[in-house]
């Protein structure tokens, strides 16, 4: 978008999200849950928004859906193409921004996003786009992180050290059902929520944190920023370890998430 006030931020994110690739091992299991929640059927046309390495897209395509995937990060799309080839399914992957998608109105029976569209800076623009490309009677469904659970608490901690840029809505708002209802508005009917949990293996809080410092973009960026302030970096790491420690049990960090489904009128 030529007049996008967040073009610079997105240019940074386009490169930064490349680090997410190893986390596909963790996002593979909830992908099956979101496909079930969205009731995807063979032959439907399905769009996976913020598709990353394509875990949702490949799962839908393996069910027989005609599937497209869109993401900001070219490096993740390369990996998504390899995943589709490995699974022997055809998927059309495109580089693009959920806030300005390269698809015609009413192109898809189902529009999905797993922890993807929630990172767009302008939720009202992102949701309007997702509903625009969805056919009337089609299904929109997405998974998001609720503020009250572990990922939400971790993100709030990151936000304490590095507040989001002015005008950027906190991604965790997408984990609050009342805000989700408000954002979907009158364009949809039949909103249904469900919840799931990802069990993330970790030997210690430090193991989890060290992984997050390499793969989870908000943490990666904060640690980069704090490199010039060793004391503050150490305090952040201690705070994060204690947050992780409160959720680590039996070598697993339980990451609860929210699933939403609705029908476009």
Ligand X SMILES: C[S@@+](CC[C@H](N)C(=O)[O-])C[C@H]1O[C@@H](n2cnc3c(N)ncnc32)[C@H](O)[C@@H]1O
Note the residues at the interface with ligand X (CB under 6 A): 10, 13, 17, 20, 24, 27, 50-53, 55-56, 71-73, 76, 97-99, 114-116, 119-120
For residue 92, what is the enclosing H or E element? strand 91-95
* CA 181 to centroid of chain Cα atoms: 18
Compute the least distance from the CB of residue 178 to ligand X, in Å: 23
Q: Which residue is nearest to ligand X (CB)?
A: 52
**CB 254 → ligand X: shortest distance, Å?**
17
**Which CB atom, from 44 or from 83, has the smaller least distance to ligand X?**
83
Q: How far apart are CA 87 and CA 57, in angstroms?
A: 11
Backbone conformation region of residue 163, classed left if phi is above 0, alpha if psi is from -120 to 50, else beta: beta
Q: Which is nearer to ligand X, 194 or 245 (CB)?
A: 194
Minimum CB separation of residue 160 from ligand X in Å reads 21
Q: Which is nearer to ligand X, 119 or 236 (CB)?
A: 119
| Minimum separation from the CB atom of position 132 to ligand X (A) | 14
Contact 25, 211 (CB under 8 A): no
Nearer to ligand X, 52 or 147 (CB): 52
Give least dist CB 105 to ligand X, A. 19
Any residues with CB less than 8 A from the CB of 45 and at least 6 apart, and which? Answer: 65, 66, 67, 68, 107, 108, 109, 110
Nearest in space to 114 (alpha carbons), one of 46, 182, 15: 46
Closer by beta carbon to ligand X, 14 or else 233? 14
């Amino acid at each position: 978008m030529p007049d996008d006030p967040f073009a610079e931020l997105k240019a940074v994110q386009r490169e930064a999200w490349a680090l997410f690739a190893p986390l596909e091992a963790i996002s593979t299991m909830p992908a099956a849950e979101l496909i079930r929640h969205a009731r995807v059927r063979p032959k439907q046309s399905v769009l996976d928004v913020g598709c990353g390495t394509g875990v949702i897209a490949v799962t839908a395509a393996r069910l027989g859906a005609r599937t497209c995937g869109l993401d900001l990060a070219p490096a993740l799309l390369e990996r998504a193409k390899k995943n589709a080839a490995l699974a022997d399914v055809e998927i059309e992957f495109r580089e693009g921004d959920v806030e300005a998608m390269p698809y015609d109105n009413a192109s898809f029976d189902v529009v999905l996003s797993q922890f993807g569209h929630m990172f767009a800076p302008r939720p009202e623009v992102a949701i309007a786009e997702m509903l625009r490309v969805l056919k009337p009677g089609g299904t929109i469904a997405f998974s998001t992180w609720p503020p009250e659970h572990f990922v939400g608490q971790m993100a709030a901690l990151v936000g304490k050290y590095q507040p989001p840029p002015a005008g950027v809505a906190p991604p965790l708002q997408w984990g609050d059902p009342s805000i989700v209802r408000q954002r979907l508005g009158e364009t949809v009917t039949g909103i249904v929520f469900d919840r799931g949990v990802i069990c993330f293996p970790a030997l210690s809080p430090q193991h989890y944190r060290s992984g997050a410092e390499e793969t989870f973009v908000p943490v990666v960026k904060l640690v980069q920023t704090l490199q010039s302030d060793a004391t503050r970096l150490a305090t952040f790491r201690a705070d994060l370890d204690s947050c992780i420690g409160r959720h680590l049990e039996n070598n697993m960090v339980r990451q609860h998430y929210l699933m939403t489904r609705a029908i476009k009128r």
